[in-house]
Structure 1
């Protein structure tokens, strides 16, 4: 996707322009707040960045849940999402326990299509860890004289927040998310998927089998 330009925005622009309440929209604002911090050295901007980034991860995990539901996300799961926002990973594993293998299988499929757009795949356990790191700055994290009043602490915190957020944003901007639903596979492809899922073949065997 063509990533929007987040640099050089004022606080008013961050709060009012291009307001999208999805994973990309939240991380766009997080990156804007981080840029604002580097220009103005106001640590409050980093707190705002953590708020948006954590919400962005929650939306990303929900989007993954919808994408990996086959054929559709059951209503009872959706209701659980609105009540238990810290349990998306558990819900994904419950709904689609083979989601990691399905991502790999989809990757092999897309690589056989020369004109297919680039796809990105998220490490959901890693994203949950990042959610925890953002959460650290959204709760009481220590006395002022040892945290926001100490320049070395501020610099280290800003480095951690910036590093995580930039890594996620760059990945978001590098392609689109997609997966091949099992219900949409041909019988031949589904048979190969079942063999891969059940460890009867390795990842390196998928493409030759698909091309056969």
Structure 2
């Protein structure tokens, strides 16, 4: 195979896979799951695209040995998303050099982002920039961590300045819009209260959890 193709190309992976499928089928064995993965994003996506049109066996997709955290997330997200948006793939793995729990969390986020799995709250947060006058990164991470325990998932906006807060807060269930050393807590775009920076996260979740704990009206 290497003599024919020179290196593990997408075409080589597909040809090899089809040979093995034929071998097993001739032996009356059909409990087969296919996996054609490479550390090269283009080769992986191309091979998995091709094989999906040639067999009906379940297909495990992804980019193998994708690297460390940042590069691995980028490679996996690009490769897996390109396939899942075409309804290609039955299972996938985030194959990066990281704690398996982190791998699972990234996989869930990919599915959530593509609208294929709706579990957990969605956090909308702005990048760190010159307009932010609070530690927006720490606030966003704290909100994300607290949101994992919410009984009912919510869309929460965490904005580092008033420029972004007004627009984003209208699209979120709840939100934080920050100023210098303080911030406003929003609900559906309406300001509920303004509190000190160090109280933003606790006050936000006190509001959310209090409303979630209210008994439903008959």
TM category, shorter: under 0.3
Query: TM-score, normalization: structure 2?
Result: 0.22
Question: How does the TM-score come out when normalised to structure 1?
Answer: 0.22
| Larger strand percent | 2
Q: Which has the higher helix share?
A: 1
Q: Which has the higher contact order (CA 8 A, sep 6+)?
A: 1
